[in-house]
């Protein structure tokens, strides 16, 4: 069997390559941790990929802002049809259409047992937490490919109840592998509930998913900030207020909208590549969003921080930031008794409920993030357009199965 996949080809470049067809034993390859070579994965399934999305998290690698090795097959947002099951799989069956959480988790370690699947202790020899096709995540092969291996399948996958219904809503359901649960986790972490006022920094797909989630949770007002006008228009298209952070500190614009210069809940959907505010928006200032959320969020409030922060950034603005050390005004957060919720989203906590919300027409996440299917061969163009700030969430369709 052959396989084709999107691979990282050095800063600013991805290419579509011929890749090995997966089997139930891990092989050496770019980024594969030596301790994972030869690992037996009879608890896994092989999926024929139906939809696999390009993510802002991939862009950090492709922009050369991580230590990702060239040749790494990318892709952690995977939805597919099971075509082979390993001998130790009990319940997942050939033909099932499933969503795969981007976190790889064993279901057996202490953290998995406590529902913390974003920091599974068993699958990445380097550190807690793992993902497909991602730097420092153990070297599991990514899913922006025709076929992909999913380990611990009985534990990891979410099977859709009906295949035809799943294909009808595939542009919504494909967001269950990452950004919808991630945005929802950001909103839950920020304490969003009925009547909340919410500020979401970032109108990329994760910010739009967080804003969608805040509405779903009953927020009274959802304000989204970015410096990208097309993305702000996308946020307005489903009922959000917006602020343009290139016009200045968002706190003044928030006061114009709410009558008070603070919100109940703050969400960082930007991460370490944050731009400054006002005239500073022309340059990177990695602690901008964290500091501004501490200023904007009410005393006693919580900050949901799905935006990614790294332990090493070769392209950082200064020496400290190269080690992931940022100039945070932590004293302000302390003074306001803020709670910070960080880390990989434990997708499994949320994906089943959000699937049912999609299937019952309670939410249109695909529309809200402007899901746009493209072929696997067009992945390089998709990456380039996303990098330029297109107000779109690109969904790769390796087998031409998604209705256009
Ligand atoms: N924690 C998790 O589990 C998880 C999962 C998925 C993605 N992420 C992270 O979430 C972040 C967002 O992902 P995405 O796909 O939406 O990325 P993206 O790059 O498409 O979006 C980021 C947006 O932030 C905007 N921005 C930059 N500086 C800003 C500022 N100061 N204020 C407001 N907006 C600003 C950019 O213009 C851009 O539109 C990334 O860091 C990604 O790695 C985390
Ligand atoms: Zn992602
Ligand atoms: Zn585990």
Closest ligand 1 atom to the C-alpha of 308? Answer: 41
- What is the chain's mean pLDDT, rounded? 97
Which numeric CATH code is attached to 4-178+346-396? 3.90.180.10
Q: What is the pLDDT of residues 210-243, one digit of tens each?
A: 999 999 999 999 999 999 999 999 999 999 999 9
Q: What is the pLDDT of residues 281-322, one digit of tens each?
A: 889 999 999 999 999 999 999 999 999 999 989 999 899 999
Q: Give the pTM.
A: 0.98
* Domain residue ranges of the chain, discontinuous segments joined by +: 4-178+346-396, 179-341
Mean pLDDT throughout 135-161? Answer: 97
CA angle 386, 388, 392 (to 5 degrees): 35
User: Residue 372: which H helix or E strand, with range?
Assistant: strand 371-374
Q: What is the pLDDT of residues 167-184, one digit of tens each?
A: 999 999 999 999 999 999
Q: Please tell me the chain's helix, strand, coil percentages from 3-state DSSP, rounded to the nearest 5.
A: 30, 20, 45
Q: What is the pLDDT of residues 133-142, one digit of tens each?
A: 999 999 999 9
Percent share of the chain, pLDDT over 70: 100
What is the Cα Rg of the chain in Å? 20
- For position 207, what pLDDT does the model report? 98
Tokens 């020496």 locate to: 319
Q: Kindly give the interhelix angle for 179-189 and 351-359, rounded to the nearest 10 degrees.
A: 110
Q: Judging by DSSP bridges, how do beta strands 45-53 and 78-85 pair with one another?
A: antiparallel
Local confidence band at 132 (pLDDT 50, 70, 90 cut-offs): very high
Q: How far apart are CA 184 and CA 350, in angstroms?
A: 8
- For position 137, what pLDDT does the model report? 94
Closest ligand 1 atom to the C-alpha of 272? Answer: 41
Local confidence band at 43 (pLDDT 50, 70, 90 cut-offs): very high
Which numeric CATH code is attached to 179-341? 3.40.50.720
Q: How far apart are CA 132 and CA 123, in angstroms?
A: 11
* Residue ranges around ligand 1 (CB below 6 Å): 55-57, 59-60, 178-179, 182, 201-207, 225-228, 231, 245, 269-271, 274-275, 288-289, 306-308, 344-345, 389
Q: Is the pLDDT of residue 404 over 90?
A: no
- For position 1, what pLDDT does the model report? 86
Q: What is the pLDDT of residues 194-203, one digit of tens each?
A: 999 999 999 9
């Amino acid at each position: 069997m052959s396989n084709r996949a999107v691979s990282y080809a050095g800063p600013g470049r991805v290419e579509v390559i011929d890749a090995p067809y997966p089997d139930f034993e891990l092989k050496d390859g770019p980024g594969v941790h030596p301790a994972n070579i030869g690992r037996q994965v009879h608890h896994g399934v092989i999926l024929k990929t139906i939809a696999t999305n390009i993510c802002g998290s991939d862009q950090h690698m492709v922009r050369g802002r991580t230590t990702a090795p060239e040749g790494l097959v990318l892709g952690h947002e995977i939805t597919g049809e099971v075509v082979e099951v390993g001998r130790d799989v009990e319940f997942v069956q050939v033909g099932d259409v499933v969503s795969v959480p981007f976190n790889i988790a064993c279901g057996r370690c202490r953290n998995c047992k406590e529902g913390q699947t974003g920091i599974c202790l068993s699958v990445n020899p380097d550190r807690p937490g793992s993902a497909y096709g991602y730097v420092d995540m153990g070297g599991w092969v990514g899913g922006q490919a025709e076929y992909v291996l999913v380990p611990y399948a009985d534990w990891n996958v979410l099977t859709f109840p009906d295949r035809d219904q799943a294909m009808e809503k595939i542009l919504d359901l494909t967001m269950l592998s990452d950004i919808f649960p991630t945005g929802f986790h950001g909103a839950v972490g920020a304490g969003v509930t009925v009547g909340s006022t919410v500020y979401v920094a970032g109108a990329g797909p994760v910010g739009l998913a967080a804003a969608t989630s805040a509405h779903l949770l009953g927020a009274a007002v959802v304000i989204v900030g970015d410096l990208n006008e097309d993305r702000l228009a996308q946020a307005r298209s489903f009922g959000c207020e917006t602020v343009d952070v290139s016009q200045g500190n968002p706190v003044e614009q928030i006061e114009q909208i709410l009558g008070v210069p603070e919100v109940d809940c703050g969400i960082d959907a930007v991460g370490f590549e944050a731009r400054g505010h006002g005239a500073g928006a022309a340059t990177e200032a990695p602690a901008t969003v964290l500091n501004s959320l501490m200023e904007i969020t009410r005393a006693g409030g919580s900050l949901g921080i799905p935006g990614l922060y790294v332990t090493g950034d070769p392209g950082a603005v200064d020496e400290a930031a190269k080690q992931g050390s940022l100039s945070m005004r932590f004293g302000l957060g302390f003074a306001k008794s803020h709670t910070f919720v960080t880390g990989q989203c434990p997708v499994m906590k949320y994906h089943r409920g959000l699937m049912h919300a999609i299937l019952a027409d309670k939410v249109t996440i695909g529309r809200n993030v402007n899901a746009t299917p493209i072929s696997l061969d067009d992945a390089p163009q998709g990456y380039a357009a996303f990098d330029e700030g297109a107000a779109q969430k690109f969904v790769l369709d390796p087998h031409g199965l998604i209705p256009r």
